[in-house]
A = this chain, B = another copy of it.
Amino acid sequence: MGSEPRLIEVRKNVLKQNDVIARALREQFRAAEVFVVSLVSGPGTGKTMFLEKTLSVLSQSHRVAALVGDLATENDAVRLARSGAPVKQITTGTLCHLEAAMIQNALAGWDLNHLDFLFIENVGNLVCPSSYDLGENLRVVLISVTEGEDKPLKYPTIFNSADVAVVAKMDLAPAAEFDWHSAYCNIQAVRPGMQVLKLSAKTGDGMQEYLNFLTARREELHTAAAL
């Protein structure tokens, strides 16, 4: 199509500008010693319930907050606020992903020095968020057992842009006839060596291992920064 090269050029500029803002955010997060975790997945994988459980457990020992992206509604912010943690909703309208500038705007008025962890829940989309750096320290890609074992093969870019994979809704594994070995191998085929955690936010199985993983990664970053 005639207009494609122009579209690609403009998109490159948008991504470049996003990277500049993301770099500034990362520097700001480092200075405040806040560990920033972003969550990406398709719609309905269970990001919000997972984050709800994360905030309620982690807030007992750490200072936590969350930003949550959706095209429409403030529902997720309302759900997450029940944990007692500060939460802000970012509504994107028709935009299919969060961008660094939205994070920057949403953080205005928050003192990051008062936080240990900041969580960012992206719009439910396994494609577009992969291109946008949000300045996070850790990007977590979630798939659920009901989505089929082939998702890593079909959406390789998002697995390549993420740092760790979480297989969610493990409580539904028998009903969905989920094949763990096949899903694990497909993740490794796309991203060899990727760490994969499995859990159920509903039953709590695997949640503590995930939280231990997060706190360990935060410690590692601080130790490295102090050297």
Q: Name A's B-contacting residues (CB within 8 A).
A: 1-4, 6-7, 10-11, 13-14, 17, 42-46, 70-73, 75, 94, 96, 99, 101, 123-128, 130-131, 143-144, 146-148, 150-151, 153-157, 169, 172, 175-176
Q: Which residue of B lies closest to A21 (CB)?
A: B1
Would you list 6 pairs from A and B whose C-beta atoms are within 8 A, ordered by A residue?
A7-B10, A42-B124, A44-B45, A71-B155, A72-B154, A72-B155
CB distance from A24 to the nearest CB of B (A): 14
Are B17 and A13 closer than 8 Å at their CB atoms? no
Q: Which residue of B lies closest to A44 (CB)?
A: B147
Q: Which residue of B lies closest to A9 (CB)?
A: B10
Q: When A and B form their complex, which 6 residue pairs have the shortest distance between CB atoms, in order from nearest?
A: A44-B147, A96-B127, A42-B43, A146-B146, A175-B175, A42-B42
| Chain B neighbourhood of A153, CB < 8 A | 72-73, 75
Are A156 and B14 closer than 8 Å at their CB atoms? no
Are B72 and A156 closer than 8 Å at their CB atoms? yes
| Chain B neighbourhood of A14, CB < 8 A | 1, 3-4, 7
| Chain B neighbourhood of A11, CB < 8 A | 7
Are A154 and B75 closer than 8 Å at their CB atoms? yes
Add 5 more A-B contacts to A7-B14, A124-B126 (CB < 8 A): A2-B17, A44-B45, A45-B147, A96-B128, A123-B127
CA separation between A197 and B2, bound complex, in Å?
A: 40
CB distance from A169 to the nearest CB of B (A): 7
Known interface pairs A10-B7, A75-B154, A172-B172. Does A126 touch B17 (Cβ–Cβ under 8 Å)? no
CB distance from A121 to the nearest CB of B (A): 12
Q: Which residue of B lies closest to A95 (CB)?
A: B127
Are B75 and A150 closer than 8 Å at their CB atoms? yes
CA separation between A222 and B99, bound complex, in Å?
A: 46
Q: Which residue of B lies closest to A70 (CB)?
A: B154
| Chain B neighbourhood of A45, CB < 8 A | 44, 147
Are B154 and A124 closer than 8 Å at their CB atoms? yes
